[in-house]
Amino acid sequence: MQHIEITIGALSSQTGVNIETIRYYERVGLMPQPPRSAGGRRIYSPAFARRLTFIRRGRELGFSLGDIRSMTGLQDHSPTCGEVYTLATRHLDEIRSKIADLKRMERAISKAADACDRNRGPNCPLIDTLSGRC
């Protein structure tokens, strides 16, 4: 089997993760330190790309670095499917709560904007809403 070596630039292009972000993930222990070439360049394998893609997707979905660390088994043990499920459903509950908050904000701003006479009167419902007078 042929051993495929990937440079950090190629890894960045392949995964869509900035080079400095890759180095940061290595510093904080989310990515293992890669072996180095005789010239000191980092050399990555496809396993690094898979892990980095997992981290990137987790971040895109709003998981914290701590959650990702737990899901990748970087703490004391490799997580069970049940443990990952618990993390994911907790995160989903947080997302749903944020969506509910955003919907409340949308309704409040929409109501104030609908009440606005667009500078035809002395009072501004938008200012009143933001200053807590409504």
Ordered by start, the domain boundaries in the chain are 1-63
- Please state, in angstroms and rounded to a whole number, the distance separating the CA atoms of residues 38 and 35: 10
pLDDT in tens, 54-101: 999 999 999 999 999 988 886 567 888 898 899 999 999 999 999 999
Give the rounded percent of residues in the chain with a pLDDT score beyond 70.
Answer: 92
Q: What are phi and psi of 36, to 5 degrees?
A: -120, 150
Fold of the 1-63 domain: Multidrug-efflux Transporter Regulator; Chain: A; Domain 2 (1.10.1660)
pLDDT at 53 over 70: yes
Report pTM. 0.75
Per-residue model confidence (pLDDT) at position 1:
44
111 or 61: whose pLDDT is higher? 61
Strand partners, 83: none
